[in-house]
A = this chain, B = another copy of it.
């Protein structure tokens, strides 16, 4: 590992001068040439660890998401990465698995690694985010709220739930169920709230309690929930899934039962990026996953740049594709 001292020796200058050359501080043209020549010859590249120790910061940002195998979060991650990459930062991706302990663990790492900032989809209400913010490290919450007063980027969840449910009602379905996430997580609650509200308003009565199923956010959760719905004495004729993977599970169960959409109405809050069904069979309320990521990244960059205006919350709207075939047309 070639150090700044070796470059300095070869160029016949002091290490300080070499450092100045690399950081754009004023150095005479003559010495700049000497240093450049020496460092090229030795293939010098600065040791980031040493620089970080001295500067107390690095060009690395941590991104904490619950599940890297969920396409929603990978799209979001791409957005974050693209924006930060362009600004010269690197991104470290961390899976929290919706586990508060893992979240704490990674926040500790971000702290002790002197990372420039953190973007996270919070699990715990008030994790150990304070540890970061107390040291002046910016933190941006994404997709989910925290109890803290920090920047955040959200989706308008009730509106998304309303849009998904309305589309099914418009298409002529009458008995609309909902597969929502774990009770503890608030974002899916917002979507389920939208569902309940629309059903109540437009049918004149609140939905059956059994029509609201709680599941984990994964494919198997969707499967179990859909099976439970189909086993009801009065099964629904359509379902709203509050996330993408649960919808996949639900559709799998429906296909296996011979109820291929649109014979059974399906609307999903989120995208099915690898869906192999004809696109018009299912109503998707597209979530701006990538945009969520770029927005959060840019907010973080502003904070890293020293911006200290009061905390902001940006709410992005989901965009509906109204494509369910109306019942009458079947």
Chain A residues at the B interface, C-beta cutoff of 8 Å: 1, 45-50, 52-53, 56, 58, 68-69, 71, 74-75, 77-78, 81, 90-95, 108-109, 111-114, 135, 219, 245, 248, 251-252, 255-256, 272-279
> Which residues of chain B are within 8 angstroms of A77 by Cβ–Cβ distance?
68
Determine the chain B residues whose CB is within 8 A of the CB of A256 once the complex forms.
278
A279 contacts across to B, CB distance below 8 A = 252
Q: How far is the CB of A7 from chain B (nearest CB, A)?
A: 14
Q: Beyond A45-B108, A48-B112, A49-B49, is A274–B245 a contact (Cβ under 8 Å)? A: yes
Considering residues A49, A69, A92, A135, which has the most beta carbons from chain B within 10 angstroms of its beta carbon?
Answer: A49
Q: A53 is contacted by which of B53, B91, B94 (Cβ under 8 Å)?
A: B53
- For A70, give the chain B residue with the smallest CB separation: B74
Given contacts A48-B112, A49-B53, A112-B46, contact A251 B276 (CB under 8 A): yes
Residues of B within 8 A of A71 (CB): 69, 71, 274
Cross-chain contact of A274 among B45, B94, B95, B248 (Cβ < 8 A): B248
CA distance A37 to B292 in the complex (A): 44
Complex contact B219–A274 (CB within 8 A): yes
Copies in the complex: 2
Q: How far does the alpha carbon of A47 sit from the alpha carbon of B58 in the complex, in Å?
A: 13
Cα-based distance from A252 to B53 in the complex (angstroms): 52
Do A68 and B68 touch (CB < 8 A)?
yes
> Which of A108, A272, A277 has its CB near the most chain B CB atoms (within 10 A)?
A277
**Inter-chain contacts of A90 with B (CB < 8 A):** 92, 94, 109
- Which of B1, B113, B272, B273 lies in contact with A49, CB distance below 8 A? B113
Q: Are A272 and B276 in contact, CB atoms less than 8 angstroms apart?
A: yes
Complex CA gap A47/B55 in Å reads 13
- Please give, as numbers and ranges, the residues of chain B lying within 8 Å of A252 by CB-CB distance: 275-276, 279
A280 to chain B minimum Cβ distance, whole angstroms, is 10
Residue from the list B50, B111, B255 in contact with A278, Cβ < 8 A? B255
Nearest CB of chain B from residue A235's CB, rounded to whole Å? 19
Residues of B within 8 A of A278 (CB): 255-256
Residues of chain B within 8 A of A45, CB atoms compared: 108, 111-112
**A256, B251: Cα distance in complex, Å:** 18
Can you list 9 A-B pairs, Cβ within 8 angstroms, ordered by A?
A1-B135, A49-B52, A49-B53, A49-B58, A71-B71, A71-B274, A219-B273, A252-B276, A272-B274
Give chain B nearest CB distance to A125 CB in angstroms. Answer: 20
Question: How many Å lie between the Cα of A94 and that of B78 in the bound state?
Answer: 10
Q: Is B47 in contact with A112, judged by CB distance below 8 angstroms?
A: yes
Q: Smallest Cβ distance from A329 to chain B, in angstroms?
A: 17
- Chain B residue contacts of A112, Cβ below 8 A: 45-49
| Apart from A69-B74, A92-B92, A256-B278, 14 more pairs, CB < 8 Å | A45-B108, A45-B112, A48-B114, A49-B49, A49-B114, A69-B75, A69-B78, A251-B276, A252-B275, A252-B276, A272-B276, A274-B274, A276-B276, A277-B277
